[in-house]
Structure 1
Amino acid sequence: MSKEEKFESAHQPAGGWGSVKAVTKILAQEKVLLQGGRVLMKQNKPDGFACVSCAWAKPAHPHPAEFCSNGAQATAWEITSKRVDPGFFQRHTATELESWTDHALEAEGRLTAPLRWDAASDKYLEVTWKQAFDEIGAELKKLAPKSSVFYTSGRASLETAYMFQLLARMYGCNNLPDSSNMCHESTSVALPETIGVPIGTVALDDFETTDCIFFFGQNVGTNSPRMLHQLQEARKRGVPVITFNPLRERGLVSFTNPQDPAQMLTADETGISTQYLQLKAGGDSAALMGLCKFLVEWDDAALRDGRARVLDARFIEQHAHGFEEFAAAARACSWESIERESGLDRGALELAAGAYANARAVIGVYGMGLTQHKKGVQNVQMLSNLLLLKGNIGKPGAGICPVRGHSNVQGQRTVGISEKPELVPLDKLEQQFGFKAPRDKGLATVDTCHGILDGSVRAFVSLGGNFVRAAPETDLLEPAWRRLRLSVQIATKLNRSHVLHGEVAYILPCLGRIEIDRQASGEQAVSVEDSTGCMHGSRGQVEPASPGLLSEPAIVAGIAQAALAPNPALDWQTWVGDYSLIRAEIARTWPEIFHDFEARMWKPGGFARPIAARQRIWKTPTGKATFVAPASLDENPDMPGRPDVLTLFTLRSDGQFNTTIYHNDDRFRGVYGTRRVLLMNPGDIQRLGFAEGDRVTAATLADDGVDRTVAGLRVTPYNVPQGCAAGYFPECNPLIPLWHHAEESMVPAAKAISITLSRTEAA
């Protein structure tokens, strides 16, 4: 173990002095201590800027400090005083930079000038913006449109995303994969079938009136810490919080509110979960079936005995389809299979089902712990089934609540970022802009990876993100990435997808959302959509990192003008001069959502998009809310288990956001100075013949001729269910086969990977 590495038992609550220390440390590290403190007071405020990390809702009446330690880290990371200017690339070749860690690359600071990779020197050299746009346009014109991909990370504004999807479609393809394909696409596929909308139904106000909250696979302490305010208030009212998660995450155990002087001075903690069920990785459908089975059988007994019904019979009769088939499946499902697949005993499930049965209004919260599975779509539909049994969709204090990750990942889908043409009003776009939109299905993330591997994808234009690190099958994808003819990265900071590059490669540095964006008509504002379907305006607060930066809309416009024929119905540069013109076109495309866009975008708390299921209007194939019986409770049928096999699930630390690594510490899990760890059940460590501190190589159990390994992981005892292990994303991504994805949504199944372990040979 190196001197920097440290491992200890973690018992601290989420929030508290640990969060205060983390915020202070990152502001000092990025040398923006005074400026950062001022800027943070504008974060998630109606007259300020929308956080660039998570997409949790922005309240109409914000706290004095409406940010969390993770959001503060993201802000400090963006407004850092550190710079990566062209001189940096004179000192470092791309090959050398490949050996740097994710953290080291981004920690160098903000990019300042457009760059082109030079094959002769293996260095990125400064070019003019005109040179960059002209050559990118010329390269795109040489390629077949279907061989080009336009990727978005989830951080871009509504305005930029709208422009980007127009660029792709006017170019001639629907190849618009995005970060949703890697996380919540299972939601977008599951919910339209069950409740008729692709997003959640919960509004922020529902947390004030709910009387029970169920959590599935969502780590609030690191992924959306501001939600802890709603959970703390609910717990003060005595609302039970029932959690299903393989790890006991600190944010779902206890919370000390940094904005509560009494709690901070007394080290008082608010307990969050009233029952915590540590199910096996991949056991969610089985656990949910257990809850539903109790409810159905209790209701059967109540009918027989002439007692009050347990289920909401009126709701089911008036609003539901498929109940009898689902109820029959629940009755027929054996407790042996439920307990085996979930890893939970019947008594624990009965206690949770009792809390649900006794509640008037229940919120079901979930994250990627449900979606990133082979049965990810089924998992989401099973949670929907549970909520429908008691009419917990479309009433105050109740609903389904998928917690999105990146700050506008939901919003970019709303304005046309989708590989599925049937989800986009193409007729309307054709009418507005006088072009013929492609109608064939485009490439999603997994399709794109296949295309990069087989050479059918020739160009990759990325609006943010770090695709190579975020995607599965890393060890196959990286060498194939170099065979791309064109790679274009619109970014604020350097990352691995940049240094690997294609044959022709550009890095185009853009303004960050927190920076003041001055255009021809003056300072501009942008907009985003949060996890609850509310739209918010966002204004930059600090001076740009470099006078040479362009805004994201300006860069998209520059590529469009160079790659596309002139269009009399669309003046890209006029749009760049005044973003309100873009919003006016968005409102023309989706008037039911964005009418009076300009006036409403500054409404405190945002303005809500219409969500039919909130009014119990079911835009499903059946015209009603639909129960869907599960096909199987077995999460990993294509990865059969053996006694020496563990089920690995990947996770994020409190020192990262997606592929961005702010530091190598994870204070909530007691891991410091490294990310090369494997968290294991102590019984499994002993059973498999290892000891704490051993270095092991994890290998994926798959019979397809591909060697998938990650070496040098430190065996670390942790409270993990037997037969399971946890490792960090993206370090463990090489273990995810490209074919190991959710059956309907193709989301990589990063939460249940069958692995074996061997000792890592010393170097």
Structure 2
Amino acid sequence: MAERDDVTIKDYKGAAGGWGSMEGMAHVLPEEKIGPDTLDALRRQNKPGGVMCVSCAWGKPAKPHIAEFCENGAKATAWELTTLRNTPEFFEQHTVSELQGWRDHDLEQAGRLTHPMKYDAATDKYVAVSWAEAFDAIGAKLNKVDAKKVVFYASGRASLETSYMYSLFCRLYGSHNLPDSSNMCHETTSVGLKNATGSPVATIQMEDYEHCDAIFCWGQNVGTNSPRMLHTLKAARKRGVEIVVFNPLRERGWEKFTDPQNPLQMAGAPATQIATQYHQVRAGGDISAILGILKIAIEEDTKARANGGEPILDHHFIEQHTVRFEEVADFARKASWDDITRESGLTREAIEDAARVYLKSKALIAVYGMGITQHRYGMDSLYMVVNLLLARGHIGRLGAGPGPVRGHSNVQGQRTVGITEKPELAPNDRLKQLYEFDPPEWQGWDTVESCRHIIDGTCDGFIQLGGNFLRATPEHEKMVKGWEKLPLQVHIATKLNKSHLHPGEESWLLPCLGRMERDMQETGRQAVSMEDSFSHIYGSVGKAEPASPHLLSEPAIVAGMAKATLEPNPNVPWDEWVGDYGLVRTAIENTYPDKFANFNERLWQPGGFWKGNPAAHRKWQTESGKAEFNVPRALNASGFADKDGRFALVTLRSNDQFNTTVYGYHDRFRGIHGTREVVMMNKADMEKLGVAEGDKVTLESDADDNVDRSVGNLMVVPYNIPEGCLGGYYPELNVLIPLEHHALESHVPAGKSVPVRVRTA
């Protein structure tokens, strides 16, 4: 294992992008010993006819830049196309018990998995097996356990083709437990936007950024999570668009950006200022910040109308297209400024500054990330964002609307083609007609429910299509104990991770091709497809040499398990689908004709093809038939009361990370190098606690459930974060999150406001 770098904490003065991005790539790419295939993949990345990035879900423009990839996209590509190999010899040298002590980075740095493996309890090692042995044994086990107690989990990276086959396999088998990584992050959007607008996704498309006059942003770290978006924001700023940011931490991507493809900026010209206003709300304080803006808008509208002036609010839109506006307006009028400023952590003057931009905007885009969704009352935060848009008619208008920024590159698309535990969202009537079986109609398990059953021992099996579920979930100690008792674990993966190292009764590692790699099947080279945050569908074709001749594609692995498990169904041509993914796309089109008409013909359309969105045309598929205002249940989304000594922990990704994948230990923007075992703290809080920079402390859960959870040996780092809030890295600090600390309706773990205490000795 690589030794830890020397730990240094030093403020970073540079902008996002620029030479810093080059330096960031220089830290990671050489470690992967990349070859020409990586450079070719980057040349083709996110371009029409090319290969789609395996990192974030930001849109792929019809007219791309020369280099249409970012620092983290380059890291993700190198991580997949590394020439390092994790062969059976590696597992001969290391027991699973030993590997449990390895860091996340070092496990994946062992390289690409090359052979199917089975855990051997007698030796405590994974041993190589044949694909036939693996499929036959998995099928036999699945036929011995209760299908209703088997989980089919999907991370957000698998293609539309794989996802469709996987969800069909699950339903044919008799399960409806289809959680995915959306359950971990953006499920609040899927539930909340659906309730409020009738659509569970963004109403805007990428070109709307060319027509907006204001962008409001909540809880999204653009510089780390979706860096290619910075080009869009830079263009908006060049047009004079105001960008108002609400986020507890100062994140460099929102502050300034040096365009790596701009020779003048790279030569020293000033960086582009992105945010025109930056408001550091308390964790969960977005509800009150938005409430203050609405309060001002409603009061100004009342004054304007009384004086015969132009109304501030869009009353025609409100009357024609919405319900419950007066309830929200009355709530805002009665809200006290003392409550608003206390819960938001902002001054009245700061909220008034933001309101001035809102009041004059004719086309406003609302951008948000998991800083909105991952709270106990995350639904209320989302509803407040929607309220702000509806009050001035900013949905269904060019250059305006909600624009949630997704993480995984196809997490939204998986839901589109059937990865859902909710029977009302599954195309059961079409599936029954096409494949002549009765799909499950019962409510399946989402992530939280799956964890409950793993912990209490009533889960009979867990199939993992990518991802690192055990590492990503809350309640880690209990989860590990339950995970090790699972009758069956199946892991479809490209690299080794923590989820693979707590085997159950039977545990299998099934290595698959990566998206960047050449996928040759019976009819030749295959292409796959995925969906971005704007509901655009793209084709993607890999050309790199596969990491091993023993790898199978994800569709082939799904088909192999399905054929070994299910009775033959003449309507489900698994072999034909594996031989020609175009036939899978035809099946998707037949299942979803309204979204995927002429799927194969449109696969390579520059900029992708739009699957459509009724709310973007002001067609509201809600219970009321209109867009719905909603009164918040609380003024802070955290869901817990302030107490002496209690802090709200905000879990974060570093600049050298994508979800649970840690590329390295250089969080450049935050100036933290060589470690992830830190807690970021306001200097005033440090003084109250009597701690200094570099001191070691322990974080303890302060949830009201009397369960001991703690993480020790965390180094204190002074940071620009609101008083009463702490920052620390995910997934290491997931240990502190109770399973039941989740968004109430969507069950998203509330990792952006975790109640903790600091123990200094």
State the TM-score, normalizing by the size of structure 1.
0.98
> Is residue 24–residue 33 contact of structure 1 (8 Å, CA) maintained in 2?
no
Aligned residues: 759
How many angstroms apart in 1 are the aligned matches of 2:588 and 2:300? 49
**What does 1:210-225 correspond to in 2, within 5 Å?**
210-225=212-227
Deviation string for 1:72-107 (max 9, x for gaps)?
000000000000010100000000000001101001
Shift of residue 555 of structure 1?
0.2
Worse-superposed segment, 656-665 or 750-759: 750-759
Residue 307 (structure 1) aligns with: 309
Greater displacement, 313-322 / 605-614:
313-322
Q: Secondary structure at the match of 1:24?
A: helix
| Aligned partner letter, 1:592 | D
Q: Which residue of 1 aligns with 2:329?
A: 327
Partner residue in 2 for 1:550: 552
Letter in 2 for 1:159: E
Q: Which residue identity does 2:666 align to in structure 1?
A: D
Partner SS for 1:213: strand
The separation in 1 between residues aligned to 2:748 and 2:89, in whole angstroms, is 40
Q: Displacement, 1:759?
A: 2.8
- The aligned residue for residue 80 of structure 1 is 82
1:123 aligns with 125
Q: Specify the code of the residue in structure 2 equivalent to 1:415.
A: V
- Confirm or deny that 1:458 pairs with 2:444: no
Residue of structure 2 in register with 1:564 after alignment: 566
What displacement does 1:286 show?
Answer: 1.0
Tell whether 2:757 aligns with 1:752. Answer: no
CA offsets per residue over residues 199-258 of structure 1, 9 Å max, x none?
011100001111000000000000000000000000011110000000110000000000
Q: Is residue 242 of structure 1 aligned with residue 247 of structure 2?
A: no
Q: Answer whether contact 2:34 2:81 (CA < 8 A) is retained.
A: yes
Q: 2:99 aligns with which of 97, 103, 118?
A: 97
| Aligned residue identity for 1:195 | T
Match of 1:520 among 514, 522, 533: 522
**Do the aligned residues in 2 keep the contact of 1:641 with 1:754 (CA within 8 Å)?**
no
Contact 1:27–1:36 under 8 Å retained in 2: no
| Secondary structure, counterpart of 1:480 in structure 2 | helix
1:634 aligns with 2:636: yes
1:530 and 1:232 mapped to 2: Cα distance? 20
* Structure 1 residue 643 displacement after superposition: 2.1
Q: Which residue in 2 is equivalent to 1:682?
A: 683
Moved more, 746-755 or 259-268: 259-268
Counterpart in the other structure of 1:741:
742
Question: 1:699: which partner in 2?
Answer: 700
Distance (Å, rounded) in 2 between the aligned partners of 1:240 and 1:725 = 29
Which is worse superposed, 302-311 or 651-660? Answer: 302-311
Alignment of 1:131-146 (within 5 A): 131-146=133-148
Q: Is the 8 A contact 1:48 1:541 kept in 2?
A: no
User: SS at the partner of 1:74?
Assistant: helix
2:70 aligned residue: 68
| Alpha-carbon separation, structure 1, partners of 2:485 and 2:728 | 30
Q: Which runs of no fewer than 5 residues in structure 1 stay unpaired?
A: none
CA 1:491–1:249: 2 relative to 1, 3 Å: same
Whole-Å separation in 1 of the counterparts to 2:461 and 2:195 = 34
1:740 corresponds to which letter in structure 2?
A: H
Give 3-state SS (helix, strand or coil) of 2:167's partner: helix
Whole-angstrom CA distance in 2 between matches of 1:39 and 1:145: 40
What TM-score comes out, normalization by structure 2 length? 0.99
In structure 2, what residue type is equivalent to 1:456? T
Q: Which residue of 2 aligns with 1:110?
A: 112
User: C-alpha distance in 2, partners of 1:541/1:165?
Assistant: 27
Partner residue, 1:287: 289
- AA paired with 1:606? G
2:268 to 266, 269, 287: 266
Equivalent-residue separation in structure 1 for 2:752 and 2:713 (angstroms): 21
User: What SS does the aligned partner of 1:478 have?
Assistant: helix
Separation in structure 2 between the aligned mates of residue 203 and residue 182 of structure 1, nearest angstrom: 24
Q: Hey, what's the Cα distance between the residues in 2 that align with 1:4 and 1:147?
A: 47
Letter in 1 for 2:686: I
Which 10-residue stretch deviates more, 330-339 or 268-277?
330-339
What's the secondary structure of 1:266's corresponding residue?
coil
Tell me which of 595, 598, 601 is aligned to 2:600. Answer: 598
Structure 1 runs of 4+ aligned residues shifted over 4 Å read none
Q: How does 1:610-625 map to 2 (within 5 A)?
A: 610-625=612-627
Q: How far apart, in 1, do the equivalents of 2:564 and 2:380 lie?
A: 44
Instruction: Give the SS at the match of 2:434.
Output: helix
Residue among 199, 204, 207 paired with 1:202: 204
Maintained 8 Å contact 1:648/1:724: yes
Shift of 1:315: 1.1
* CA distance 1:128–1:2, change in 2 (3 Å): closer
Q: How far is the alpha carbon of 1:502 from its aligned partner?
A: 1.1
Q: Which amino acid aligns with 1:709?
A: S
Matched residues, percent identical? 54
How far the C-alpha of 1:635 sits from its partner, in A, is 2.8
Q: Distance in 2 between matches of 1:501 and 1:45?
A: 40
Give the conservation status (yes or no) of the 8 Å contact 2:381–2:637.
no
In the alignment, the residues of structure 2 paired with residue 619 and residue 87 of structure 1 have an alpha-carbon distance, to the nearest angstrom, of 56
Q: In 1, are the aligned partners of 2:37 and 2:545 still within 8 Å (CA)?
A: no
Q: Partner of 1:22 in structure 2? A: 24
* Amino acid of the structure 2 residue aligned with 1:718: Y
Secondary structure of the 1:594 match is: coil
Residues 118 and 3 of structure 1, relative CA distance in 2, 3 Å threshold: closer
CA contact (8 A) 2:515 2:542 kept: yes
Q: Which residue of 1 aligns with 2:655?
A: 654
Amino acid at match of 1:697: T
Say if 2:225 is the partner of 1:187. no
For 1:399, the equivalent position in structure 2 comes to 401
